[in-house]
Amino acid sequence: MDTVSETANDSKLSVRYYGEKTESLGDAVLHLTAVEISLDVDADRDGVVEKNNPNKGSWKWGPNGHGAVLLVNCDSETTYKKTLDSEVDEINKVSGDTLLNLFLLPEHKLLKLFLKDYIMVVGTDTLTEEVPYLGGKTELAFFVEGLRFPDKDFDGLVTINLSLLEPCGKGFPETPIFTDTVVFHISPWIMTPNTLKPVEVYVCSTNDNYTFLKSIKNLVDKCGYKLKICYEYMNRGDRWMQDELEFGYIDSPHHQFPVVLDSPRDGDLQDFPYESILGPDFGYVTRNALNEKVSSLDSFGNLEVSPPVTVNGKSYPLGRIIIGVAATRGRNMTQVVQDFLWAQKVQEPIALYSDWLVVGHVDEFMTFVPAPDRKKFRLLLASPDAGYKVFKSLQKKGHGEAEMFPGLPEVISVNEILSDKKLQAENRYVQNCIDWNRDVLKKELGLDDEDIIDLPILFKVLEEKTGPRAVAYYPDMVNMIVLGDQLGIPKPFGPKVNGRCALETEVCSLLEPLGLKCTFIDDFAPYHKLLGEVHCGSNVLRERSPFRWWNLEL
């Protein structure tokens, strides 16, 4: 039969047969009903559901891959009722003396499928539903939404089945005679590197950061981005906007929106991501440390992502996630968050060693800035060696009496700094720790020395209960905010030569040749003294990458 039946038994086949009993020829007519069933999705990833794609039942990565994409419905209506964000998937239903049965096995906690206005829902508590019978060549549109992000115990693939059931007579259950299956991959949560275009800058207003806030506002205004200020009623004095949340996004051929990952840190800013950021087309996801102690390494100043890189021929067009952990024993990022990050797969994480710092965040010793040449970015590293080089050069040029921290109570001369043997030993130790990370970053990001710029920064080491740990000696310039080619850098309060801070001069001479513009922002009292800097006190929502995650070759 080459066409679907309009009514039951509307096709006929004449059969001539030899009757064994009558021992003569007989004629019979066979009545036929053609039923065509197809559960359809956008398996070719063009944003439109197509008819019965032969590849709809499997999922393959890459530009020549196939398989539909599903978003987790993790945003909210303004009324906090969940929206129907995911694309419509359609099945074609025809008339016939049959039943259709939609079912999910065994992944019923992973997605939800429903008809408009929730007439029928499959998922969560209901594994299976009969599809309402409409007759004819009707197409029935279903809505489907993901319920969980990929994680350690879930590879992101979900399946929906549709069975045609045949009645077997009174007293017997229907038996399935045909099953159609479609597969979705739920979009991973994807981070945005410093090289992507900013959209909005987030910062806290506190009772002591007015000047800082004004500097940030000036910079953001100059760049033409939006500034979002979190006020005290919400932040309750917690100024570490970088640490409470990380912006990312989810992406499908038909729709995409940003999703905030809420840190298990849960300082006084803890309600901000859920209360103020979650909204229509702005999703929210979090991971709670169940039986583990949350440490400073769980703050998202310790969660960054590299620009796109290629390493030994392997391409990471969405970059690689970077977190800080203990080298062998010590504080670590909570396992559930690590599991979540690794399970997203598309930005394979790198674990650096950050536990040598009091605060323990990777943003205290590294960042990425855009560049016009080479790999289109530079890795900036804090470097005590580079710091000493600047101070020694000042001394050599006769500026040994020039003063660090001019105008501040901490004032100290270049000569005094250079004669401090303890500080030297501490910075040798810090340089060792950073060099270890430098080696890992070179290897894991495929970088050459020419891709790295060392910024002159000194540290000092505090004797903590669990051992010695480092903090920045003067404002940690690498802990900057990157807004396109505009950099908001912690003002280092270095010794002045010819009226200009020698540390600022040095940093400008390193970065300006790349077309970058340096604005030095005074964060000394409200951030630096509290062991954070500009980056720790801000956050940037960026545009999504032009690269679509399903085009990765995994």
Q: Is 101 in the site for a second copy (CB under 8 A)?
A: yes
Residues 18-47 that bind a second copy (CB under 8 A): none
Q: Which residues, numbered 177-216, are part of the site for a second copy (CB under 8 A)?
A: 177
Three-state SS for 219?
Answer: helix
Q: Can you tell me which of 47, 63, 280, 468 binds a second copy, judged by CB under 8 A?
A: 468
Size of the site for a second copy (CB under 8 A): 39
169 part of the interface to a second copy, by CB under 8 A: yes
* Residue among 473, 476, 502, 499 nearest 489 (CA): 476
Q: Does 113 bind a second copy (CB under 8 A)?
A: no
304's tokens: 């960054």
Task: Tell me: does residue 310 bind a second copy (CB under 8 A).
Answer: no
- Residue 446 binding a second copy, by CB under 8 A: no
393 is a site residue for a second copy (CB under 8 A): no
Q: Are 439 and 382 in contact (CB under 8 A)?
A: no
Spacing of C-alpha 1 from chain mean position: 50
Among 329, 407, 449, 465, binds a second copy (CB under 8 A): 329
* By the rule CB under 8 A, 7 interacts with a second copy: no
The full length of the chain comes to: 554
Q: How far is the CB of 68 from a second copy (least distance, A)?
A: 21
DSSP-based three-state secondary structure for 363 = helix
Instruction: Rule CB under 8 A: say whether 62 interacts with a second copy.
Output: no
61 touching a second copy, by CB under 8 A: no
| Residue number with CB closer to a second copy (299 or 437) | 437
What is the greatest pairwise CA distance in the chain?
A: 125
**Peptide bond between residue 253 and the one before it cis (omega within 30 degrees of 0):** no
Among 59, 103, 202, 225, binds a second copy (CB under 8 A): 103
Residues 8-41 as b/e (b if ≥16 CB within 10 A, e otherwise) read eeeeeeeeeeeeeeeeeeeeeeeeebebebbbbb
How far is CA 255 from each of CA 69, 81, 87, 283, 286, rounded to the nearest angstrom?
A: 10, 19, 8, 13, 21
Using the minimum distance from each CB to a second copy, give the nearer residue, 469 or 496.
Answer: 469
Taking a C-beta distance cutoff of 8 angstroms, is the pair 458, 470 a contact?
no
DSSP state of 66: B
Question: Of the candidates 32, 411, 425, 525, which one interacts with a second copy according to CB under 8 A?
Answer: 425
428 binds a second copy (CB under 8 A): yes
Closer residue to a second copy in complex, CB, 142/527: 142
Residue from the set 82, 116, 152, 500 that interacts with a second copy by CB under 8 A: 152
Using the rule CB under 8 A, give the single segment among 79-87, 253-261, 303-311, 322-330 that binds a second copy. Answer: 322-330
Cβ atoms of 89 and 116 within 8 Å: the answer is no
Rounded least distance, CB 529 to a second copy, Å: 24
Please, what is the minimum distance in Å from the beta carbon of residue 501 to a second copy? 26
Q: Which of 26-34, 113-121, 287-295, 430-438 is the region at the interface with a second copy (rule: CB under 8 A)?
A: 430-438
Indicate whether 175 belongs to the interface with a second copy (CB under 8 A): yes
C-beta of 159 vs 211, nearer to a second copy: 159
**Distance (Å, whole) CA 136 – CA 5:** 8
Q: Is residue 536 annotated as a catalytic residue, yes or no?
A: yes
**Strand-pair partners of 70:** 186
Are the C-beta atoms of residues 70 and 62 closer than 8 Å to each other?
A: no
Q: Cα 367–277–201 angle (5° rounding)?
A: 40
Q: Parallel, antiparallel, or unpaired for β 350-353 and 321-325?
A: parallel
For residues 196 and 433, which CB has a smaller minimum distance to a second copy in the complex?
433
Residue 124 lies near a second copy (rule: CB under 8 A): no
Contacting a second copy within 220-279 (CB under 8 A): none
CB of 228 to a second copy, least distance (A): 35
Determine which residue in the list 196, 325, 453, 481 makes contact with a second copy, applying CB under 8 A. Answer: 325
Amino acid at 166: E
The rounded Cα 94 to chain-centroid distance in angstroms is 42
Interacting residue with a second copy among 28, 134, 168, 408 (CB under 8 A) = 168
Residues 6+ apart with CB under 8 A from 498: none
Which one, of 238, 145, 134, lies nearest residue 187 by Cα? 145
Q: What is the nearest approach in angstroms of a second copy to the Cβ of residue 440?
A: 8
Query: Is 478 one of the binding residues for a second copy (CB under 8 A)?
Result: no
Tell me the CA end-to-end span of the chain in Å, nearest whole number: 42
376: tokens are 């289109």
Which residues are annotated as catalytic?
A: 536
**Site of interaction with a second copy (CB under 8 A):** 101, 103, 105-106, 127-128, 152-153, 163, 166, 168-169, 171-173, 175-177, 325, 327-329, 332, 335, 338, 351, 353, 356, 425-426, 428-429, 432-433, 435-436, 461, 467-468
